[in-house]
Amino acid sequence: MRTAILTLMALMWVGLAFAATPKTVVLDVKNVTCPACRLTIEKALEQVPGITDQHVDTKAATVKVTFDPASTSESAVVKAITDAGFPATVRSGGG
């Protein structure tokens, strides 16, 4: 009985750890030229549930986004940035 309980607890722990694993993507973004562009992208991403971190690099024209895959997806992140006026694509290879 004790072994069964410990096994169940271990499985639950692994399940929680797997479910809480965030995903990070790097996107190439067009038309990013100034600090106002950065603010516009940040505000667009604030509307997407599940995003836990974001970094807009105007010089490199990239956006690095960390999100909870249970709450949102890469396509939702791309759509939010693109709809804000900055066509975005996920960088192949992730970075």
Q: Residues 6 or more apart from 38 whose CB is under 8 A from it?
A: 32, 56, 58
**Distance, CA of 32 to CA of 88 (rounded, Å):** 10
As a whole-number percent, the residues of the chain with pLDDT over 90 amount to: 72
- What CATH number is given for 22-90 in this structure? 3.30.70.100
- The confidence band for 3, taking pLDDT boundaries of 50, 70 and 90, is confident
pLDDT for 95: 57
- For residues 1 and 40, give the distance between their C-alpha atoms in angstroms, rounded to a whole number: 57
Least Cα distance to 21 among 50, 45, 55, 47 occurs for 50
- Amino acid letter for position 90: V
With cut-offs at 50, 70 and 90, classify the pLDDT of residue 72.
very high
> Angle 35-38-44 (CA atoms, 0-180°, nearest 5)?
145
Given pLDDT bands bounded at 50, 70 and 90, which one contains residue 92?
confident
Q: For residue 17, what pLDDT is reported?
A: 53
Give the Cα-Cα-Cα angle 16, 22, 26 (nearest 5 degrees).
165
61 pLDDT tier (thresholds 50, 70, 90): very high
Extents of the domains making up the chain? 22-90
This prediction's pTM: 0.77
Residue 73 contacts by C-beta under 8 Å, 6 or more apart in sequence?
none
